[in-house]
Structure 1
Amino acid sequence: MSNNNSNTNLSVAHRAVKQLRVEASVRRIPVSQAATDLKNFCMQNAQKDPLLMGVPSGDNPFRPPKSCGLL
């Protein structure tokens, strides 16, 4: 029974080492560079962002309904 348990532990350890090797091989960039890239992307696309520029009322499906009055 203990042999099976040690094989399981060894298998788990091998998988953990394999995963750590994969993570260690990932290319990384400094946080300052990532922040600069993100800022530049946001500034370049700000004119297309409906949250910043708003949506034209004719294209807005969520505009308040117009009231209809009978005279």
Structure 2
Amino acid sequence: MSNNSATSSSLVIAQKAVKQLRLEASVHRVKVSQAAAELKTFCLQNAHKDPLLTGVPSSDNPFRPPKSCAIL
């Protein structure tokens, strides 16, 4: 009886593996060269919005150094 349950258990594992492999085989693949070109185009089109490239205006920067004030 235990041999039969071991066989059915390994069969279930094999069926899950086949199902996963079929799922992975059906995924649409893109060539690396095409993906790199699309990524480059996207980066160039959105560079003007990137605060790491354009900087953050001091009025919008929450991390700006605090202003010192003097009371006279």
Distance (whole Å) between structure 2 residues aligned to residue 14 and residue 60 of structure 1: 55
Q: Could you give the per-residue CA deviations for residues 1-45 of structure 1, whole angstroms, max 9, x where no partner exists? A: 121111111101101101100110111111000000000000000
SS class of match (2:62): coil
Distance (whole Å) between structure 1 residues aligned to residue 28 and residue 13 of structure 2: 26
Number of equivalent positions: 71
Aligned: 1:35 with 2:36: yes
Could you tell me the percent identity over the aligned residues? 65
Q: TM-score, normalised by structure 1?
A: 0.93
Letter in 2 for 1:13: A
Letter in 1 for 2:7: S
Please report the RMSD computed on the Cα atoms of aligned residues, expressed in angstroms. 0.9
Note the C-alpha offset of 1:69. Answer: 2.2
